[in-house]
Structure 1
């Protein structure tokens, strides 16, 4: 084989000029190898090099030197007699140093017709395996396949340190019909930084864009995507994954510890830095398990640019935030949680995304992921953009993401943020600022359809996985199956219960009799959905103060109010969620820039609340009547919900076995009430399980000892009753005589 000097046609000259300006519409049609009459013509664009030669890949021998066609680095030549399958490499020389590289433009198409068809139709459940940066092998060569959806772009290039961020070097191939651009970069290393350089349809050069499917990103404020596709993680949690389904059912005890990883605990000796995923794996699961929680819920860990958003304005939905380490280190954290018997839930934000220039906003120069119409496409209050759920490629981006976290990170469930903002076209909008749906209503029908599809997908594909809606309106059947006309969530946050009961507990006890309905109203609708009772991060920010500082009275009464409130919460129907710091009565409002105040545990009052939460969690888990029928009306019965004057509530919780029941009495005033009679269903000894006024919790020690005998005195429609001493601002929990408590131990004498 020998060299033949290329003949420059007018078409060649036009193409060369377009290549050097980065304006060629189809560089694969010009660069790389192309059959000619007497062999193969090879062209390449190598800015800044002195010379280029073609090398036989099999023998590593040079077969021809290429001729420079343009000063900016376009080289070409013909290898006479070469067949179409001739495998070659390029030997380039720069400043006297030579190296041999693969030519990206000699490789064929990456995505198959079926993948393109499914992606275009929005039905590719594993879109993350095809789009983004994926390590693959082509023609026996390892490298990275890049693919990105940008149907309205004039040109898309992948840029990075490997090409000096020069968008002319690696212009991608457009797969018409799907609007996807792709290129294979051979021998590219893991850890390489990259972005997409996009020229919009009108010729405007856009700001460099991060990869929507990036698996890893630079630590903010840096914004590049990172090639990260190592060998599959070697999971060691198979036993957990096989059995986790039992822990997500409506009859299971679910007690969730909500955590912001950046402020749960920080490293005091190293400039107050974040703990890493690896350090968190050593500390957080052991702590949460010791406290008796069943699940940890993480505020969003998908990559986000602004610390103050706490993750609720994500840029990289497929990338765990690099603030705490690598993706595999997050996997290790999840695995550690599973080893400690804890499920891992993740706050997921498919409702909106920020307008940062390197993100999804006007990704290809058009409103691609968002609605063009600001009445549908923008949250003015939050300064964010709303996904266009009616666009099949966009809904597929989100559906695939839900599956990604389940598949790739063994996440056990998603808490979907801001569902109400998705469901209503007039959410936080005045008249004239929103456009009705096709039937004239305010429901976002496309968003509702997306939500149903998401829930159907994850419940069908992921055994034991469950979803929770943060939904604050009366939208019907949020946590009912889609087959019955519901949205398909497993659970819904009970925002009404949270709002009403906090309003009540913040009221001075002397006035509580006027607000009694705030405690009882939640039972009117308690079983209309599968509810979680949330005391979340939203209640301890933005000037709302901590849970403790919402409480009225002097310091002792503040703690007593908080303890009785926790006792009421844990005995009320519904699964439980508590934001970090609440378990030891953090005094100051939560600040995402600071660690929790762990030193407060040296104070007996704080330590008492800490012990109370541990004991409540364990009682809730061990006592079937406190969780089996959390979502069923048969699991709750008032003893007396109407003692307004005394601000006392008494009720029964029942398990599937009718004889399994628990008696709860809550006194919401600082007055000790003696000989307070409460009707009960059975004769016998009622063992005290919890008295929130016990000395060990920081209380006054008023109570009834470890057990109380019933009397054959009818009360509240029951043939027997208990004569109790009600401690001030306290909840009492008693096991009925017939109840099996498993490993629960009666509380010791006060």
Structure 2
């Protein structure tokens, strides 16, 4: 064969079919890897094709040595370059752009990227480590550093990675479709951490708004909305001592006192006028928050959602990046350092986590591939009327697995100690906040969301396997049975449940003027009727100090003195009531203003005695709660509580005993009127001396200091069904905590 005919054969082999060319130009080619990159010429050589719109020229270089192999010709169609090399070999592309020269490996020279096991586990909803496989992973591929992308978009006609690196041109980096899983993948050689990117998706009805990565590990700072290629996390953890003991710390018999806070508004950098300049980053927050939490004696902090969210006014409860810490406070490594520092200070870290719903922002999960992919298709199932958000279709295998993997990601990658699952009630009921005709029954005609129930049970089982010692807490406001019952016994499997009924009843009681409290006496005691039906956390959360509900101190009736006395009495009541404790930031020093996420707390108030007094009281309550077994050991067992006086509505007085597992009692006596009561008789189980551990009316708390001089002695005559009795001076709007000093309390 002549050289001329051989050249003609090569030229014809290099040419693309008209349909392929048109599909590349339209950016809807079903399989770009079938035509781009290197393809055998049937002999020892390769045809090489590239589609690089706006490129001026493309040269093929040998990867070994970098010497030229051939120039790719640009034919009649701008951007399509073709050529031939005599000997198939690894190669580089030298691309001349108007702005400069780029030399790199060809993204279309690589075979399948994700392993079959990864694809299978994802499709089955069982891939628990999606955060290390999907999304943008900076890896080394065949000796080349770059970023591997993988995204699920089963109904897309084409998916491309776009960013600054390709001038956001979706024609440049179309991805390979791994059928039938619906996963798209691409390796872009040389692409470094920090690069912003999104996905350009061609749906069945046209190109969609650019989409952020559902499994992004890093994001741009809002209001920018792109994902970023994350640097592989190489944080050196040294919190083994904490992790090895946290299972004991989370047991139902252990003290747990949780400080709930919003990272962006606890404390901020201010200008000279006192206006917020910026929120502190995780390192700055750790320097200030950790010593404060230690001083206050809380065992855990609970962060409002720190997963990336576009709208700061949602406080994080409308997240779009379920795997990425918000860029508002720093990098993923910064957040890891914050958690590590908390653990070294013996402080646990709980995250609020939102698997119920997500916002409708067009760059997010909504209509992700042109269809209802993450949400239900039917708005009667998929649209949340209260929050104008979309509801995760947790009955879809891949969505179920996506959210399980998110939970595991925070627990394993960031050593998080617990997840507080938001809005569980809205997840459990298909008719939640809907009228008749506005909801779709389950397959049996009922109102229960069977898919969500299965998801929550699976979540709790997986957490116990993947993160031993971590806990999962439900914000659940209904009487759904068995929320904290093990899944093996038919329950949902949570470790704890927020006691919303207790919160509503007791806040309603304390907001009444004391003169009317005798008519509401049962509101303070009703919680004991069901206190042991679940493992409860008593929550005074952010939801109670916003939207016109008033701050906690501002809920209190009476003049200024009475408001502070009421607050101190209420907090002491809460800390001595069965159940773990949760208090939102600012409540611990009596902030008057409702919480505003755009401002830091009013720390200046702590210079005043009433406010610093409440702060000191909370610190002392936490110390007692931790140190006195009777106040925590049987929080979740009926044996830990005993009424002494529960029926004195006339005087609004209550008295009860808390018992340790070793039969050691603590007596609590509360007077919820502003009337001091002298020589008030209370039955007690033991004679001898009873010491006053705490008086919420003490002088150091800015109270009137009406009390019992630190101790009282029990008489031999019984009262209230007890063999002995003590006569107490009950402070106005005050609570006393006492315990016997005698050694033979076992008797």
TM over 0.5: yes
Q: Which runs of 5+ in 2 are unaligned?
A: none
Secondary structure of 2:218's counterpart equals coil
Q: How far did residue 9 of structure 1 move?
A: 8.2
Secondary structure of 2:11's counterpart equals coil
Residue 45 in structure 1 maps to residue 67 in structure 2? no
1:395-414 Cα distance to aligned partner (Å, 9 max, x none): 00000000000111111000
C-alpha distance in 2 between matches for 1:632 and 1:231: 43
C-alpha distance in 2 between matches for 1:183 and 1:739: 72
C-alpha distance in 1 between matches for 2:227 and 2:647: 60
C-alpha distance in 1 between matches for 2:448 and 2:210: 36
Q: How far did residue 11 of structure 1 move?
A: 5.1
Residue 661 in structure 1 maps to residue 672 in structure 2? no
Residue 69 in structure 1 maps to residue 89 in structure 2? no
Secondary structure of 2:17's counterpart equals helix
| TM-score, L = length of structure 1 | 0.96
1:557-614 Cα distance to aligned partner (Å, 9 max, x none): 0000011001100000000000000000001111111110000011100010000000
Secondary structure of 1:398's counterpart equals helix
Q: How far did residue 8 of structure 1 move?
A: 6.7
C-alpha distance in 1 between matches for 2:55 and 2:379: 48
Matching residue of 1:222: 224
1:215-258 Cα distance to aligned partner (Å, 9 max, x none): 11111111000000324211121211111111111000000000
1:455-490 Cα distance to aligned partner (Å, 9 max, x none): 000012212100100000000010111011110000
Residue 512 in structure 1 maps to residue 517 in structure 2? yes
Matching residue of 2:679: 675
C-alpha distance in 1 between matches for 2:225 and 2:49: 33
Q: How far did residue 315 of structure 1 move?
A: 0.8
Q: Which runs of 5+ in 1 are unaligned?
A: 742-750
Matching residue of 1:460: 465
1:258-297 map, 5 Å:
258-269=260-271, 272=276, 273-297=278-302
Secondary structure of 1:405's counterpart equals helix
Match among 533, 555, 563 for residue 568 of structure 2: 563
Change (3 A) 1:9 1:629: same
1:688-727 map, 5 Å:
688-727=692-731
1:495-544 Cα distance to aligned partner (Å, 9 max, x none): 00000000000000001000000011100000000000000000000000
Residue 101 in structure 1 maps to residue 104 in structure 2? yes
C-alpha distance in 1 between matches for 2:484 and 2:633: 17
Secondary structure of 1:261's counterpart equals coil
Which stretches of structure 1, 4 residues or longer, exceed 6 Å deviation after superposition? 1-4
Change (3 A) 1:665 1:20: same
C-alpha distance in 1 between matches for 2:707 and 2:570: 17
Change (3 A) 1:56 1:387: same
C-alpha distance in 2 between matches for 1:97 and 1:638: 82
1:342-390 Cα distance to aligned partner (Å, 9 max, x none): 0000000000000000000000000000000111111112100000011
Change (3 A) 1:216 1:134: same
Secondary structure of 2:219's counterpart equals coil
| Count, aligned residues | 736
Match among 639, 643, 652 for residue 647 of structure 1: 652
Q: How far did residue 706 of structure 1 move?
A: 1.2
Matching residue of 2:237: 235
C-alpha distance in 2 between matches for 1:671 and 1:548: 20
Q: Is the 8 A contact 2:14 2:84 kept in 1?
A: no
Q: How far did residue 190 of structure 1 move?
A: 0.6
Secondary structure of 2:655's counterpart equals strand
Residue 491 in structure 1 maps to residue 496 in structure 2? yes
C-alpha distance in 2 between matches for 1:259 and 1:387: 26
Q: How far did residue 340 of structure 1 move?
A: 1.1
Matching residue of 1:121: 124
Q: How far did residue 10 of structure 1 move?
A: 8.0
Change (3 A) 1:720 1:261: same
Matching residue of 2:400: 395
Q: How far did residue 70 of structure 1 move?
A: 4.1
Q: Is the 8 A contact 1:213 1:316 kept in 2?
A: yes
1:164-203 map, 5 Å:
164-202=167-205
Q: Is the 8 A contact 2:300 2:349 kept in 1?
A: yes
Secondary structure of 1:589's counterpart equals coil
Secondary structure of 1:90's counterpart equals strand
What is the root-mean-square deviation in Å for CA atoms of aligned residues?
1.6
C-alpha distance in 2 between matches for 1:536 and 1:196: 38
Q: Is the 8 A contact 1:683 1:737 kept in 2?
A: no
Q: Is the 8 A contact 1:3 1:78 kept in 2?
A: no
